């Protein structure tokens, strides 16, 4: 089975721009979670989507948003980029059985640099 | 969410067992203990998880104390490729889509 894929792998943007990152989960996985990793804050949970609905949300401003499509693929969007948004953005997918989420499988991440 | 305490860093000789401790004294009864690791510049990788009983898989063993306030991840024969940051994460089975990562332990396996 193919693993979790994320595109693009690297991205450079300038302050004030917006960006969309994409995540394709493992086939059959219905839950997709997003995380931000920075040297200062470590790995932080952004949000989780299941069946096209946001099921969990972390403590991030409204500039961070996401969505999930009917094929479980997910995108996250960051608007009005700030220098502090420079980070590795990780996507993870999980099986969901009887409403319970299994272990997460992470993608390689998208490295976003904001200049 | 239960808080965890892990050593910031540990060293281990190649071929020896690596024992990584984690304190999770506020863990609730329905929270599992999950272990993930992150090799430099890669996405985190699931290792093992358990609730009460000790667990073993092809990667590692997990020892959970009887009072569930702490656990130890054991890599039986560490290799250089096991050099990584190891995270101990309590999570309920209904909430594993939202993992709360702490600072983890940086394990350096040395030749």
Q: Does the pLDDT value for residue B20 go beyond 80?
A: yes
CB contact under 8 A, B44 and A44: no
Distances (CA, A) of B78 to B9, B60, B74: 15, 10, 9
Mean pLDDT value of segment A104-114: 96
Residues of A in contact with B34 (CB under 8 A): 103
Cβ of residue A60 closer than 8 Å to a chain B Cβ: no
% of residues, chain A, pLDDT over 70: 95
Q: What is the pLDDT of residue A99?
A: 57
Question: Which pairing describes strands A5-7 and A105-106: parallel, antiparallel, or unpaired?
Answer: unpaired
Cβ of residue A108 closer than 8 Å to a chain B Cβ: yes
The CA distance from B76 to the nearest CA of chain A, in Å, is 22
Q: What is the pLDDT of residue B97?
A: 80
pLDDT in tens, A7-42: 999 999 999 999 999 999 999 999 999 999 999 899
CB contact under 8 A, B97 and A31: yes
- A103 confidence band (pLDDT: 50, 70, 90): confident
Q: What is the pLDDT of residue B1?
A: 64
Measure the CA–CA gap between B99 and A15, rounded to whole angstroms.
29
What is chain B's mean pLDDT, rounded?
Answer: 93
Cβ of residue A100 closer than 8 Å to a chain B Cβ: yes
Sort A16 into a burial class: Cβ within 10 Å, 0-12 / 13-18 / 19+.
Answer: exposed
Q: What is the pLDDT of residue A101?
A: 57
Measure the CA–CA gap between B60 and B57, rounded to whole angstroms.
6
% of residues, chain B, pLDDT over 70: 95
Residues of B in contact with A101 (CB under 8 A): 93-97
- B4 confidence band (pLDDT: 50, 70, 90): very high
- B96 confidence band (pLDDT: 50, 70, 90): low
Chain A, nearest residue to B49 by Cα: A103
- B84 confidence band (pLDDT: 50, 70, 90): very high
- A2 confidence band (pLDDT: 50, 70, 90): confident
Question: Phi/psi of residue A7, each to 5°?
Answer: -135, 145
Mean pLDDT value of segment B93-101: 79
Q: What is the pLDDT of residue B7?
A: 97
Closest CA to B40 of A41, A58, A88: A88
Q: What is the pLDDT of residue A100?
A: 61
Measure the CA–CA gap between A11 and A26, rounded to whole angstroms.
23
CB pairs under 8 A between A and B: 64
Mean pLDDT value of segment B33-48: 94
Q: Which residues contact A51 (CB under 8 A, 6 or more apart)?
A: A30, A68
């Amino acid at each position: 089975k193919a693993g979790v894929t994320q595109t693009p792998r690297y991205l450079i943007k300038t302050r004030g721009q917006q960006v969309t990152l994409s995540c394709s989960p493992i086939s059959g996985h219905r839950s997709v979670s997003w995380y931000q990793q920075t040297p200062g804050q470590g790995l932080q949970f952004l949000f989780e989507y299941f069946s096209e609905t946001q099921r969990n949300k972390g403590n991030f401003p409204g500039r961070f948003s996401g969505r999930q499509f009917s094929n479980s693929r997910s995108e996250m969007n960051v608007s009005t980029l700030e220098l502090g948004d420079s980070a590795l953005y990780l996507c993870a997918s999980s099986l969901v059985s009887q409403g319970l989420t299994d272990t997460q499988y992470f993608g390689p991440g998208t490295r976003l640099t904001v200049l | 969410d239960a808080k965890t305490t892990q050593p910031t860093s540990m060293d281990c000789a190649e071929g020896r067992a690596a024992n990584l401790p984690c304190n999770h004294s506020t863990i609730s009864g329905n929270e599992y203990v999950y272990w993930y690791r992150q090799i430099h510049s890669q996405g985190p990788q699931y290792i093992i998880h358990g609730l009460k009983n000790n667990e073993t898989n092809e990667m590692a063993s997990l020892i959970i104390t009887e009072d569930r306030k702490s656990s130890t991840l054991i890599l039986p024969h560490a290799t250089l490729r096991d050099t990584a940051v190891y995270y101990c994460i309590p999570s309920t089975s209904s909430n594993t889509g939202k993992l709360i990562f702490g600072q983890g332990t940086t394990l350096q396996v040395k030749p």
